[in-house]
Amino acid sequence: MELYGLKNCDTCRKALKALPRATFVDVRGDGVPPEVLRDARARFGDKLINTRSTTWRGLSEDDRAGDPLELLAVHPALMKRPLIVDGDRMYLGWDKTVQAELLDTA
């Protein structure tokens, strides 16, 4: 199980603490493999981009209108966090639904 996030993100820290078998991948330092981003984009669509982030607010309208995968490659902090990959299953965020599913199987 891989948990993609930011090391300074409180939500990512909470998820990592609750999922001790998860391997943490810092999206700023290590990046997200392109195939994982493609799969996540196919599964979550526009929800993959955190449009409430300060990074998003700092982008021009032209940048925002660009290809989301290219945008995430350049600005990995735009990804909603955490992105949890467990085999062929993916989860986005750390809400009660994700927690219930992952903690029941952990």
What is this structure's pTM? 0.89
Q: Which domains, and CATH codes, for the chain? A: 2-105 (3.40.30.10)
Most confident of 15-19, 64-68, 69-73: 15-19
Q: Give 20's contacts (C-beta < 8 A, 6+ positions apart).
A: none
Question: Catalytic residue positions?
Answer: 9
Element (H, E) at 29: none
pLDDT at 58 over 90: yes
DSSP percent split of the chain into helix, strand, coil, nearest 5: 50, 15, 35
Place of tokens 């750390």: 94
pLDDT of residue 106: 47
Percent of the chain past pLDDT 70, that is, above it, reads 98
